[in-house]
Structure 1
Amino acid sequence: MSIDVGQRRRFSPDARREQILSVAVRLFGERGYAEVSTTDVAREAGVARGLINHYFGTKKDLYLEVIHVMLTVPPVALASLPDGDLPVRIDAIVGWFLDVVSRHSQSWLAAITAGGMAGDAEVDRAISSAIDAAADAVLTAVGFTAVTPPMHAMARSYVGLATSTAREWLERDVLTRAQVHRLLSLTLLTMVTSVFTDD
Structure 2
Amino acid sequence: MNELAARRRLDPDARRTEILDAALRIYAERPYADVSTTDLAREAGVARALLNHYFGTKRALYLEALRELLTIPEQAAADLPGRGREERAAAAVEWFLDSVEDRRTLWLSVGLGLSGDAEIDAVVEDADETAVDRVLTALELDPGDEPLRARVRAFFGMVRAASREWLVRGSLDRPAVRKLLTTTLVTILED
TM-score, L = length of structure 2: 0.89
Other-structure match for 2:55: 56
Structure-2 residue corresponding to 1:74: 73
Partner of 1:110: 109
Report the equivalent of 2:43. 44
Q: Gaps spanning 5+ residues in structure 2: where?
A: none
Change (3 A) 1:56 1:177: same
Task: Pick closer, same or farther for the CA change 1:156–1:5 going to 2, 3 Å.
Answer: farther
Give the counterpart letter for 1:47 in structure 2.
V
Looking at structure 1, the residues matched to 184 and 7 of structure 2 have their Cα atoms a distance apart, in angstroms, of 46
Partners of 1:165 and 1:180 within 8 A in 2: yes
Aligned in 2, Cα 1:129/1:92: closer, same or farther, shift over 3 Å? same
Counting matched residue pairs gives: 190
Counterpart residue number, 1:147 = 144
The 1:4/1:107 distance shift into structure 2, 3 A limit, reads farther
Which runs of no fewer than 5 residues in structure 1 stay unpaired?
none
Question: Percent identical across equivalent pairs?
Answer: 45
The answer to whether the 8 A contact 2:112-2:160 is kept is no
**Match of 2:172, as an amino acid?**
L
Shift of 1:21: 1.0
Give TM-score scaled by structure 1 length. 0.85
Seen in structure 2, the aligned counterparts of structure 1 residues 6 and 174 have a Cα distance that, compared at 3 Å, is farther
After TM superposition, give the deviation of residue 156 of structure 1 in Å: 0.8
Question: Quick one: distance in 1 between partners of 2:129 and 2:72?
Answer: 11
Q: Which runs of 4+ in 1 moved over 3 A?
A: 4-7
Aligned: 1:87 with 2:86: yes
Q: CA deviation at 1:27?
A: 2.5
Q: CA deviation at 1:187?
A: 0.7
